[in-house]
Amino acid sequence: MGTDPSPDPWEVARRWPVEQRVEIQSPDGSVWTGRVMPLHHLTGDRVLLLKLDSGYNVGLRIDPGTRFRLLPAEPRDERTGEPVARGPTPPPSGPAVALLTTGGTIASRVDYATGGVRPVRTAAEIMAFYPKLEQDGPVRIVPVVDRLSENITPDDWVRIAHEVVRAFGDGARGVVVAHGTDTLGYTAAALGFLLVDLPGPVVLVGAQRSPDRPSSDGPENLAAAVSVARRAPLGEVVVLMHADLSAHRFALHRGTRVRKMHSTRRDAFQSRNLPPLGYWTEGTLDLSGPVRPPRPGPPRVDGTLDAGAGGLLWFYPGLSAERAAAACAGLRGVIFAGTGLGHVAEIHLPWIRTAIAQGVVVGMTTQCLEGRVDPYVYATGRDLVGAGVLFLEDLLPETAYVKLLWALGQSRDPDEVRRLLATDRCGDLDGRRRPEGAR
Amino acid sequence: MKVGLEIHQQLAPRKLHCRCPVELTETVQGTVERRLRVASGEEMGIDPAAEFQAARESVYRYEWGPSNCLVDLDEEPPTELDPDALDVALTMALLLHARPVDEIEVMRKIVVDGSNTSGFQRTSLIAVGGYVEVEGRRIALQSICLEEDAARKVAETEGIVTYRLDRLGVPLIEISTQPEMESGEEARRVAEEIGALLRATERVRRGIGTIREDLNVSIEGGCRVEIKGAQELRLLPEYVEREAARQKMLLAVRESLRGRGATAPRGPPADLTDTLQGVATGPIGQALRRHGQVLGLRLPGYAGLLRSLPGTTERLGRELADQARACGLNGLLHSDELPNPEIGEDRLRPLREQLGVGGADAFVLVAGTDRRLLLRALEAVARRATAALEGVPGETRDPLPDGRSRYSRPIPGRFRMYPETDIPPIRIDPGRLERLRSTLPERPADRRARLTRQYGLPAEIAGQLVVSGQAGLLETLVAQGRSAALVARFLTQDLPAATAAGDAAFDLSAERMDELLRACEAGEFAKEGLPKILAALKAQGASPDVRQAIAEAGFTGLSMEELSRLAEALVDRNADLVRQRGAGAFSPLMGDLMREVRGRRDGREIAEALRKALRDRAPGAPTP
């Protein structure tokens, strides 16, 4: 075998460029030929990742005594290249749909050379990725932010809302917002409160299975969202995702009523306390729910959010009054996710009374997620309402928190904030719990 | 001739990347429907296998049941490699002198036929190199991998392929040899040896379909052809020899075609529907009755080469028909089969005229109601006929139960593999290998020898027990006090016979076997009664009861006293015979007594009881 250039071959091997072809002879005599792959962040100490000619990646320990030889590069496999450019197709005509991207992995390409997965972000790449996106008309891609959804902030919600208004101003028939699923529900609620006089649908969409697999739900969700944005007679913010585990039925949920109820399933998004507004099934739209029709427009962003002034507090047995009070220090408003009908332990009453006396708005929702709160069934509830806690019907805790930020952005007067919180704005409070349930 | 083997063996007791059981089931609790798209904007058009699949855009319906969880439905990320399955794979690596990798990276291998809900198969390279030794010859190995088994196809109708997910994710250990074997018989012996090693780990699944072999065969001047998914070891030599004969035939056909200056078929197919109006029977008659069409294609210079050549049953005509079948037709008709009762000489003449067929030319006919399908089939036939000018095309073939094989699809291009990003790499630490090395199962040859020595079993029986993977069971039962000879007889004769009879599966736990054999040793019934009791046990279905089966089989216990009484009564009833024949009466009376009590006592004891009765009841008569 060739050179033995260093007392510690690992010091040499770790500096090899990705794709370098090498032949390695381990101290036990075994010989390995392949291309160097980028190190995985979980790869062990002194382990080199190699793609063998069979296509398998393996990790090899580079111990002292390992010998190696650099090999010339092989001609690259043609099939691992970039997406094939499509011939010029006539630009689709008709009203456009705007596709706002917010980051996350709406699409990812697998790079077979390195084995890595990299997100697809530019408009051209997205079009190459989803060639059928424009089959019913033009789609205009507008990158807004570029973040995984856990890193999306209330300021981003406001930016997205303004981009939605701009897209309608530019003539879009409907708007699709592609978004990571973790906080998609929050963003949907925020857009619901911020946007008024919508002339068409705003459809939020995501993917539960990563797009680097042939079975991803992303392409189907996106195609359905674009179709719904183009056609649905809706003037509100909705979330569209798989209705069940099959790939041909998609549910439309009101943005203020929807929640991610599963960490992995395709049908993770479910409406709470209101049935889905409708379903998109194999090209057919069935809007059977209490939908809000399009408005003549023009749409606008009504107000803004006061992101630093509100909080969300989950009550649990053992939560001390001091800790809870400290968590709410400096806030103008706080939403409790209480137990059952909307309860917290009675030890919290003193600090809650003090806070309310100082002008803090305290709202109550239920950890049950389904059903409404009610202060009059038990003494604790009566004490809380007596202290000035606002019971927020069947608002989801997260939706109530988002609504609080919006209300705090509208007014500095606690009474006005309380009035806004308790008033239906966009179908978020309709006062009815239907026997058929929501899902 | 060069033959290579890939052995796929299912492992127990749970799936590779989740915690589900590996049992196959008829219970379907729900279905989901999906489509798959070729991953991530990659263009698959260049990969012939993927292109073949993509040509049929399908909806996949998945049936799920008690052996499934969200991982199987591609609704949840996978768990790490099952550590027990990995131990088996590493154990095999050590037994086969292979070199384990230092760190395992789980890969995704793109599979777009719907047999994996994710659109890929998870597979990991565990070790490379090594060898297996069979009759003094070392066959080098390529690799040992651990992968997920695919879902099993249960139905295929217009545009919808239905898979059941019970088998999806069952661990498969894949052992690939170099193409170094020189005959089908050698391939069989190598497969048998590797199979025995696998069973020696006592962690493999048993039963039909739990071990599958892929063969790759090439002869001098031929091409690598893969026969995928053979399940019967005894047919391996047949598959190999037939494939070699087929390749030889293709080479001979090539020589003839070249000698004649034959050329690739060209030009559009001819529409022969009008010419053949009036044909009432056969596939053509059937198509015409349904207002279908008949298309024909001229094969210039192919006359006489579509039928079997002297000395072989293989023929090019069948290869062409396989192509039509792969496109969804029932087959085709070619000129070497004509005239036949449907198309006589009188019809042939206008047919040949319309096709422009001369004396040296052949032609094929396809019939059906879907013109696009017919055109696609003829295109495939033309491609295959053209390939005959080059010799043996590389392809993947399905094994058939009669030892033949049939074209299934083109050889896949190099697999598209990329890392399974949901699973971190797995370090093989030296301590793990040490632990496995110190507890390696006994090699089959050593175990055969020891069973013979330790339990006094005939070498052949010991060998049978080792190959079938039941040696461990024998030792367990013997350790519980059962007689080795009885257990060996039970495992190699009675149990296989009972299992083979009828279609129902039959699985008896070690505890029940012990209970059954203990009763036999206690004299409740003789070993000749085992088949009858096993039949009763099998009829009981799930959770059979040994006591009940013994009773159902009529062995409610026969004490020596009862046996003596029965023998004496028999002698009394036949007093005349005993008087006349003396000792000569033993044989006929023994026959009668055996009929009465067979299986309830040992044969020797029955004979002894009869002798005693003869002595006691006819003291004058000499006894045998």
Instruction: Reply yes or no on whether A182 is catalytic.
Output: yes
When pLDDT is cut at 50, 70 and 90, the band that residue A86 belongs to is very low
pLDDT for position A13:
92
Query: Rounded CA gap, A15 and A4, in Å?
Result: 16
Residues B152 and B294 in one domain: no
Confidence at A230, pLDDT banded by 50, 70, 90: very high
Domain A93-301 carries which CATH code? 3.40.50.1170
Chain A residues with CB under 8 Å of B47 CB are 79
Mean local confidence (pLDDT), B361-389: 93
Mean pLDDT of the A305-318 span? 97
Task: Please report which residue ranges of B279-344 form alpha helices under DSSP H.
Answer: 282-289, 316-326
Say whether A115 and B419 touch across the interface (CB within 8 A). yes
Question: Which segments within B375-506 are labelled E, that is strand?
Answer: 395-399, 405-410, 417-419, 426-427
Residue B46: pLDDT over 60 = no
Q: Chain A, 52-81: which have a CB under 8 Å from a chain B CB?
A: 52, 54-61, 77-80
Closest to B395 (Cα-Cα) out of B183, B190, B246? B246
Same domain membership, residue B138 and residue B274: no
Does any domain span residue B536? Answer: yes
Chain centre distance of CA A375: 33
Rounded CA-CA distance A324/B523 in Å is 78
Total length of chain A: 439
Instruction: Name the band, by pLDDT with cuts 50, 70 and 90, for residue A357.
Output: very high
Question: Is residue B224 in some structural domain?
Answer: no
DSSP state of B569: H
Instruction: Kindly tell me the number of DSSP H helices and DSSP E strands found in chain B.
Output: 21, 22
Helix axes B603-617, B560-573, angle to 10 degrees: 50
Cβ of B117 under 8 Å from any chain A Cβ?
A: yes
Mutation pick from B58, B71, B103, B427 vs chain A, by most beta carbons of A within 10 Å, is: B103
- The domain ranges of chain A are 9-71, 93-301, 307-422
Q: Of the candidates B41, B102, B415, which has its C-beta nearest A109's C-beta? A: B41
pLDDT digits (tens, 9 = 90+) for A257-266: 999 999 999 9
Q: B112 and chain A: CB distance < 8 Å anywhere?
A: yes
The reply to whether B82 and B103 lie within a common domain is yes
For residues B188 and B235, the answer to whether their CB atoms sit within 8 Å is no
> Same domain for B548 and B573?
no
Q: Residues B492, B589: one domain?
A: no
H-assigned helices in B96-183 = none
**C-beta neighbour count of B274 within 10 angstroms:** 10
Provide the shortest C-alpha distance from residue A189 to chain B (in Å). 26
On whether residue B623 sits in a domain, the answer given is no
d(CA B73, CA B62): 8
The pair of three-digit structure tokens given for residue A356, joined into one six-digit string:
């309310």
If you classify domain A307-422 with CATH, what class do you get?
alpha beta
Examine the domain organization and report whether B43 and B144 are in the same domain.
Answer: yes
Residue B389's SS3 state is coil
d(CA B413, CA B49) in angstroms, rounded, equals: 7
Judgement on whether residues B54 and B196 belong to the same structural domain of the protein: yes
Does the annotation count A181 as an active-site position? yes
B342 occurs within a structural domain: yes
Number of domains observed in the structure of chain B: 4
The string of pLDDT tens digits covering residues B208-260 is 889 999 999 999 998 999 999 999 899 999 999 999 999 999 999 999 999 99
Question: Is B397 inside any structural domain?
Answer: no
Regarding whether B169 and B76 lie in a shared domain, the answer is yes
User: What single-letter amino acid sits at A98?
Assistant: A
In a domain, B223, yes or no: no
Rounded distance between C-alpha atoms, residue B322 and residue B405, angstroms: 10
Which pLDDT band holds residue B100 (cuts at 50, 70, 90)? Answer: very high
Is A215 close to B103, i.e. CB distance below 8 A?
no
Nearest C-alpha neighbor of B392 from the set B251, B244, B253: B251
Sheet architecture: strand order including A361-366: A310-314, A333-338, A361-366, A390-391
Give catalytic status of residue A366 as yes or no.
Answer: no
Confidence category of residue A174, pLDDT binned at 50, 70, 90: very high
B389 φ, ψ (degrees, to nearest 5):
-70, -25
> Does the beta carbon of A30 lie under 8 angstroms from any beta carbon of chain B?
yes
Query: Mean pLDDT across chain A, nearest whole number?
Result: 90
Whether residues A212 and B39 touch (CB distance < 8 A) is answered with yes
- Identical fold for domains A9-71 and A307-422, yes or no, is no
Write down the pTM of the prediction.
Answer: 0.83
The pLDDT score that the predictor gives to residue B621 is 55
Shortest Cα distance, chain A CAs vs residue B110, angstroms: 8
Same domain, B207 and B302: no
Regarding whether B503 and B543 lie in a shared domain, the answer is: yes
Q: Which domain holds residue B84?
A: 2-212
Distance (Å, rounded) from C-alpha A260 to C-alpha A63?
48
CB-CB neighbors (< 8 A) of A49 in chain B = 103, 105, 425
Mean per-residue pLDDT, A94-111 = 79
pLDDT tens-digit series, residues A177-187: 999 999 999 99
Q: Domain boundary at B197, B212, B227, which? A: B212
Contact A313, A302 (CB under 8 A): no
* Among A89-103, B365-379, B479-493, B513-527, the least confident range: A89-103
Q: Is residue B206 in a domain?
A: yes
**Same-domain check for residues B274 and B314:** yes
B232 assigned to some structural domain: no
For residues B82 and B194, state if they share a domain. yes
- The class of domain A9-71 in CATH terms is mainly beta
- How high does pLDDT run on average in chain B? 89
Instruction: Provide the 3-class DSSP secondary structure of residue B208.
Output: coil
Query: Are A286 and A279 a contacting pair, CB within 8 Å?
Result: yes
